[in-house]
Amino acid sequence: MSDSDLDRASEFLSAESADAPAPSTPAAVDALGEQVIEALRTVYDPEIPVNIFELGLIYKVDIDDAQNVHIDMTLTSPACPVAGTLPDEVKDKVAAVEGVQGATVEVVWDPPWHPGMMTEEAQLELGMLY
């Protein structure tokens, strides 16, 4: 993972949720967060050959002291054909990460996704620079 990938990933990681105490081992939470993000990079929208993390569909990753992970994500549109299956795939992939005790995924629509939310790498791959 490059330094720019780590910087981008750290934007999405929250070491604590609003109702959980601060973790006793922030380094462990950071390491778990990196593993969660790597798992997210294995999930693809079947219509777009870029993973959902690079597409900018992941808005937030929260990890609490009990190592439960909560993901806020969106879809490219409310009419997305995989709206019924993609969030469950994300949940399953995150729950399978060693150390994760539980996973929840919430689909949010604010802010609405737009192509400018993709990483530069994803934009280059798709030939869409913003």
Nearest CA-CA partner of 73 in 38, 126, 110:
110
Give tens-digit pLDDT for 33-59. Answer: 999 999 999 999 888 899 999 999 999
**What's the confidence (pLDDT) of residue 45?**
87
**What's the confidence (pLDDT) of residue 18?**
43
Range of the domain at 40: 3-126
Structural tokens at position 25: 């081992």
Q: What is the pTM of this model?
A: 0.79
Number of domains in the chain: 1
Residue pointed to by tokens 């601060």: 22
Residue 114 maps to which CATH number?
3.30.300.130
